[in-house]
Amino acid sequence: MMEIVVGKYAGFCYGVSRALKIVRENSGKQLRTYGAIINNKEVTSELEAQGVHCVHDVDDIAQGDTVVIRSHGVPPQIIGALESRGVEYIDATCPDVKKIHIIVQQARKVGNTVIIAGNPLHPEIVGILGYAGDETIVVSDEDQADLLVPEMGKSYTLVVQTTFDNKKFDKIAGILAGKIEDLDINNSICPSMFKRQLEADELSKTCDIMVVIGDRTSSNTSKLYEICTKNCENTYLIETKEDLLLNIQKQDVRIGVVAGASTPPSTIKEAVLLMSTLESNENTQEQARDSGLENQSFEEMLDKSFRSLHTGDVVTGTVISVSNGEVSVGLGYKSDGIIPRDEFSANPDDDPAKLVKPGDDIEVFVVRVNDGDGNVMLSKRKLDSQKSLLALEAAFEAKEPVTGKVTEVVKGGVIAMVDGIRVFVPKSQVSNRFINDDKLAQLVGREFTYEILEFDRGRGGRNRIVGGRRALATREENEVRDRIFDRLEVGSQAEGTVSRITNFGAFVDLGGIDGLLHISQLSWGRVKRVQDVLTEGDKVQVVVLSANREKGKISLSLKDVREDPWKTIDEKYEVGQLVTGRVVRMATFGAFVELEEGIDGLVHVSQIANRHVAKPEDVLSLGEELTLKVINIDKENSKISLSKKEADAPIDDYDDDDYDDYDDEDYDDEYDDEEADDVDTGADADAE
């Protein structure tokens, strides 16, 4: 019993199918192909019979000819020569080969030397060399890689012929990586070639006979033959059915069939049908039919090699070109697909040329199979929107937050775009604090996290999606507050930004929660206005005076403890010493006199004159220079008491009780922070 197994990846690859489709669609023109359109004599002979002749020199092109560039590609000099002569040309270069052209061009721009793994005489390599530059190195095997001596300190980029043996390339790349410190390795072997080679390797291990079908000059066919011979000694390489001479010595035999990327479906069909006649087996005939190789014309089999498409399909294609914002996509279909600029992304600022390049795989939504000009109308934006909608629905069900940017203010709230989907955020849900209507506009352009509160798929795409961040903002603030309080220690330093200034001090944002910097803590000297020292937005290094987690209040200071003038007070002043100072402020219980920056002393009302004084201002005036006597120093509490009456006219019957009559707490009244005790130092609203 004979079993014939035809490889799934046997026959035309996408690049070859695309090149032949281009020729067929332009059959009404006077066509020439620059070089063989594909590496198969049978196909090129058939095209010659149809009047499509092959040329190898620009000078051989006649007036009125339209030139189709071969699937292997050509050097840029050929393109330049065609354009300078005004020759119409159609580029049928395989997208995978185009991708290599882009890689080597970019390598050349940054000064890298290009190394190509492949056959230097292969037309694909000839084309790549034109883009890679004169210094390009071509290695065809491991021995040549061993002999290569890289230039010290130079960077290299490695690419590989699309039809090269993948295992051999891995060995070459390993050898070069051991020699070159800065080597950019690009495995540019065509994905379908890799799958074809892998299939041939696996199939040849399980078959008694392997038949490799393809042109003997075809690189990928040669690779398949080389792979199969390693696993199956009865391996045959044939170009057509006429070359088929199988040596079958047993009845139960399993025959594997693989074919190169340039092998026509008709050639495979004829070979398989001929093998099946070696034994009239109904199962074998049925298998041939199941393989799609029943009686068909070449055109019918070529058409069958293309995928079928329907409106609404989601498919993966290959970017062919990007021009003026329009993306052309190869779909493995008889027509290419087009993504218009406005269907590429929901963001009008996105430039397709910066996001995709020829050779990239791209997933798209089929809008129309025929747009009227024979192209398939595609949309990436619609597919992205569908995915985003599903992601939003999943976030709604899982109660997970999402991130969106506010794009506009509408009646009753704002619109936030979340991955291209419009989400309505009511005004009451914009923040966990009250937001004025005039402040909503300040949110436009800013990103926030939201919870999806409502998700309703309406008819005709009229979805109702409502988001909010009121509860989320509260949780975020609490988390931030907890983190900040966890790291704050009294006496430690912290960095912050001045967020708001008041008449009694400034609020400093410590990373999500505000601390109060009282005016008395701005300097060791006297500060009349906070604005004289700080402005909103200033970066400041502060000292933590206190941190109350329960009340959410933090007190800060700008004073540097190392510059504290009270540390050396006893070195500068002593009791009984006469000093001079300036009256800086009045209180009901006395006057404060500045002796130096940061040192204020108190002249109690009882120490102003040798008589009863009802109010300090009855005798003294602000700014007045006085000579005073030091009568007490309290270094621990930063207090110094002064006397004018003793300095003016000391009297023998002075009673120290006059000094003791007033309470030291009066001294602290001027530093009372009570004015700010009820101020919430928590984080401001997100929108503020």
**471/404 Cα distance (integer angstroms):** 16
**590/603 Cα distance (integer angstroms):** 6
DSSP 517-573: EEGGGS-SS--S-GGGT--TT-EEEEEEEEEETTTTEEEEE---GGG-GGGGHHHH-
Residue 507 structure tokens:
């609020």
543 close to 491: Cβ distance less than 8 angstroms = yes
**354/327 Cα distance (integer angstroms):** 12
Is 550 considered catalytic here? no
**245/274 Cα distance (integer angstroms):** 10
**∠ at Cα 188 (355, 190), nearest 5°?**
100
Residue 252: partners with Cβ closer than 8 Å, 6 or more residues away:
1, 2
**108/127 Cα distance (integer angstroms):** 15
Residue for token digits 């398939």?
376
Cα 633 to Cα 585, 638, 651: the distances in Å are 20, 8, 22
188 close to 103: Cβ distance less than 8 angstroms = yes
**∠ at Cα 218 (212, 219), nearest 5°?**
95
DSSP 255-271: EEEEE-TT--HHHHHHH
Measured in whole angstroms, the distance separating CA 57 from the mean position of its chain's CA atoms is 46
Residue 638 structure tokens:
């930063």
Nearest one of 118, 126, 18, 122 to 71, comparing CA atoms: 18
Give the amino acid at 427.
K
**620/541 Cα distance (integer angstroms):** 39
What is the 3-state secondary structure of 81-105? HHHHCCCEEEECCCHHHHHHHHHHH
Residue for token digits 């199988």?
246
**599/593 Cα distance (integer angstroms):** 9
**429/687 Cα distance (integer angstroms):** 12
**599/147 Cα distance (integer angstroms):** 83
**275/256 Cα distance (integer angstroms):** 11
DSSP 293-312: -SS--HHHHHHHTSPP--TT
451 close to 471: Cβ distance less than 8 angstroms = yes
Residue 546: partners with Cβ closer than 8 Å, 6 or more residues away:
490, 553, 554, 555
278 close to 246: Cβ distance less than 8 angstroms = yes
Out of 48, 124, 199, 397, pick the active-site residue.
124
Indicate which residues carry an active-site annotation.
124
